[in-house]
Structures are given as structure tokens and as C-alpha cells.
Amino acid sequence: MAAAQGPRRRFKASHENIVIAITVILFVGFSLFLNGFLTTGNLLTLLRSVSVLGILGVGMAVVVISRGIDLSLIATLAVGAGVAIVLSRPDGPLPGGLPFWQGALLGLVFVVIVTALTGAIIAYADLPAVFTTLAMGSVIYGVGRVLFLPAEANYLPESATWVFALGRGQLFGIPISIICFLVVLVLVHIVLRKTALGLFIYAMGDNPVAARSAGIPARPATVVIYVFAGLVAYFAGLLTAGAVNNINTRMFNSTLIYDVLLVVVVGGIGLSGGRGGMKNVLIGTLLIGTLLNGMIILNISYNEQSLIKGLILLLAILVDTILNPRDEQTSQQGDI
């Protein structure tokens, strides 16, 4: 067993070192040759965008480690934060509007309900996660637009001072949003490595049949995992709203979900499940965040950016498939 794990550990370290090296090369190259990259304003923008991307990466990573995938994260982000905003606005559906903390609490309840439903369908109906979450993303978006969000852009009320602080504030010169990302990263790392739930997640990802045979409550754990990912997306939505003063439901139709997948796959978390951790999310976030920021400054068109990101994602998936081949259970489950 130890001999078999040795090459995998060496590859893991090598993969991480390669990603770190590419990130450093990109950052140094952009700093030297790209006007406007190494400025205080751009670096703050980079840190804030990286924080939201990284938080979403944490949620996706936990799902992928458990041998699943969640393509509904962006719908949860946009609609959950939008519900919190409209319920607290004076011109919203409720006369006078709720205090923002109450609106945020109801937004959280909405997210828990829809993500628990997503997890339950996957866990108890044994439907493939990729198709279930793709469909649920459209359902969440549609329900949100029909019942709560007639407008695409939904602006925060002035009473949402703590959300503005999270999205725009700084502590000792460091954006609070990046501190939030690091706190989430550390807390989830502790849960994955030091708790029974974390052991369940890795066991389910490594071999779901053996995990169930060992008595692990795989189905309830799956529901908890998808609820957790939804709550992480909801928090990222509040940070986004605080940074730009609104949440726009058009985010659902953006390529943000592919950016999140890039963070996870390029960072080194195997799509076959049971591998990786928060360190992989951190290095993947730094690489993809730096790359995206550089492409924006270079004024690369949206279509060209999509092409570049698509090619990188395809290459990363091919490499992951070669190095971490799916086993028979993965093929039968069809989650990836």
C-alpha cells in the first residue's frame, strides 16, 4: 500500500509545484510587461475577484471530493443573494421591506431548501449529479426570476452596511473579502481533515460502494454536502453584492461556473473523487485569478476568453482522466 501511494504523492507534490511555478511566472510576466497590472487599484481588484472565485472553489471542491459535481452554484449565488436583497428593499414585494438581516436570513432559508432538494434527488433517486445540478440550476434561476426578481440587477438597500463592509472594506490594508476566503479555506480544511464528516466525504469519493458497506450514511451526507456548497455560494453572492452594490442575475448565463471548475481541476483535485484538499483550491484560485485578470487588462474579448478557458479546462480534464482514471463505480454512477 505504501509503495503504491508513493508515486501518487510524488505526482501530487509535482503537480502543485508546477501550478505554483506557472502562477509565479504569469504574475511576474504581467507585472513586467503589462501596464496597469502591478498597481494598487488592480491588485485590490484582483484580490477581491480571487476571493469570490476561491470561495466558490471551496464549495465545488468539497462536492467533487465526494465524487459529485454542482453546476447550480452560480444560480444559487445570484438568486439567493437577490432574494435577500429584494425582500429587504422598501420598493420590494413586502411593504416597507424587511431589515436586511431578516432578508438575508430568508435568502439563506431559500438556499437551504433548494440545495437540500438537489442533494436529495441525487442521493435518493440515484440520478447523475451533472444532469441534476444542470437542471436544478435552471429551476432555481427560473423560480427566482418568476417569484422574486423581475429585474436583472437588484441593488442593495442602504441598510446593508455589513454587506458593504464585507465586499469593500479593508483590515490593515487587506480586503476583508480575501480574509473571508482564507477563513472559509481554513475552516473547511479542518472539517475535511479532523472530523467524521470529512472522513465520510473522502471515503464516499474514494469508493462509494465500500463506504456504504462500512456503514457510512452516504445519502444523508450527500444532502449535507450539497447544502454546504449552496451556502458557500450564497456567501459568495453577498460578497459580490457588497463589492459592486448589486447582484445581477445575468451571472447565471456567464462562464463563471467554468472558472470555478478550472480552479478545482487545475488546482489538482481529481474528478474521480477522494483526492485533493483546500491547498489545491488555493493554488488553483491564484493561478486562474491571475490569468483572468491579465486577460481583462489585455482587453481580450469575451469570446476569446471563453475559448482560452475552454481549452485550458479541456486539457486539465484530459490530464486528470489520464492520471486519475475513473473506476467501474464512477462509470456506473455517471456523476462526472
Q: Give residue 172's pLDDT band: very low, low, confident or very high (50, 70, 90).
A: confident
Three-state SS annotation for the chain: CHHHHHHHHHHHHHHHHHHHHHHHHHHHHHHHHCCCCCCHHHHHHHHHHHHHHHHHHHHHHHHHHCCCCCCCHHHHHHHHHHHHHHHHCCCCCCCCCCCHHHHHHHHHHHHHHHHHHHHHHHHHCCCCHHHHHHHHHHHHHHHHHHHCCCCCEEECCCCCHHHHHHHHCEECCEEHHHHHHHHHHHHHHHHHHHCHHHHHHHHHHHCHHHHHHCCCCHHHHHHHHHHHHHHHHHHHHHHHHHHHCEEEHHHHHCCHHHHHHHHHHHHCCCCCCCCCCHHHHHHHHHHHHHHHHHHHHCCCCHHHHHHHHHHHHHHHHHHHHHHCCCCHHHHHHCCC
CA distance 1 to 80: 45
Sign, CA dihedral 230-236-242-247, equals: negative
Nearest to 146 by CA among 58, 79, 62, 200: 79
CATH code 1.10.3470 for 29-333: yes
Q: Give residue 333's pLDDT band: very low, low, confident or very high (50, 70, 90).
A: very low
Query: How high does pLDDT run on average in the chain?
Result: 88
Q: Which three cell numbers stand for residue 24?
A: 509565479
CA distance 109 to 205: 28
Q: Give residue 225's pLDDT band: very low, low, confident or very high (50, 70, 90).
A: very high
pTM for the model stands at: 0.89
> End-to-end CA distance of the chain, in Å?
27
Counted residue by residue, the chain has a size of: 336
pLDDT score of 174: 86
For 306, how many CA atoms within 13 A lie in the half-sphere containing its CB? 8
Q: Give residue 270's pLDDT band: very low, low, confident or very high (50, 70, 90).
A: confident
Asked if 252 and 73 touch (Cβ cutoff 8 Å), the reply is no
Per-residue pLDDT, averaged over 174-192, amounts to 95
Domain assignments of the chain as residue spans, ordered by start: 29-333
Q: Give residue 92's pLDDT band: very low, low, confident or very high (50, 70, 90).
A: confident
Q: Give residue 13's pLDDT band: very low, low, confident or very high (50, 70, 90).
A: low
- Residue of 313 and 92 predicted with greater confidence: 313
pLDDT score of 325: 67
Q: Which three cell numbers stand for residue 108?
A: 439563506
